[in-house]
Amino acid sequence: MPFTLLSSRTYRHMPWKNGGGITTEIAVADLPGGDAGQFLWRASIAYVTESCAYSDFAGYERFTTILEGKGLQLAVDGVSVTLLRRDPVFEFPGEAAVHGTLIDGPTRNFNLMVNRERANGRLELVAGGAAVQIPGTGAALVHALDGNVAVRTAEGEVQIPRGWTGRLDGLAGTVEPDQDAAALLALVNVLGEA
């Protein structure tokens, strides 16, 4: 099915790989021939309630942005990075030693992880009033942050409710948040596929 609307009620909740918290898995693609726990890509929301070390995801490229809360002060292989709510997406290697220190309370972070040997990915914030093209290759996820977010394709238009996600597989279109809305667009292409 080229378009699927994923309800926030159907997201899977699971412990972090390092046991330090809970993540909500929005969508995942299995790694062909991979071992249990490996994936080609995964989109999720992490609930960060205390300062902590990040899980090791060697071989993956990670993309993250703050959805709720003030932000995080990250130490990524000893380099300090400040992430605030609605800042541009931050990308870092999954094998990096990362420690996050909360800035004035808990956060919810949207994360995309992509197996860098098998795929490439991108995560971007789509501001209200913008219209961003979705290519007709690979997988695309449109996660509605606020307000009304429309996805328009040759098959028609779908409104994505706040907290829900639209998944497009090989289907081109546009994501168009209302003026007072915002969305995240995650794109993943498997290497060697057109």
| pLDDT at position 73 | 97
| pLDDT at position 32 | 79
Instruction: Collect all residues with Cβ–Cβ distance below 8 Å to 15 and sequence separation of at least 6.
Output: 21, 22, 23
The predicted model scores a pTM of 0.93
| pLDDT at position 36 | 67
| pLDDT at position 172 | 96
| pLDDT at position 178 | 95
Equal CATH topology for 9-115 and 119-190: yes
> Residue ranges of the domains in the chain?
9-115, 119-190
Instruction: Collect all residues with Cβ–Cβ distance below 8 Å to 147 and sequence separation of at least 6.
Output: 128, 162, 177, 178, 180, 181, 182
Can you give the pLDDT of all 194 residues of the chain as single tens digits?
589 999 988 898 888 877 767 899 999 998 877 676 789 999 999 999 999 999 999 999 999 999 999 999 999 999 999 999 989 999 999 999 999 999 999 999 999 999 999 999 999 999 999 999 999 999 999 999 988 899 999 989 999 999 999 999 999 999 999 999 999 999 999 988 75
Nearest-angstrom CA–CA distance, 107 and 76: 18
The number of residues making up the chain comes to 194
The CATH classification of domain 119-190, taken from the options 1.10.10.10, 2.60.40.10, 3.40.50.720, 2.60.120.10: 2.60.120.10
| pLDDT at position 194 | 55
The CATH classification of domain 9-115, taken from the options 3.50.50.60, 2.60.120.10, 3.40.50.300, 3.90.550.10: 2.60.120.10
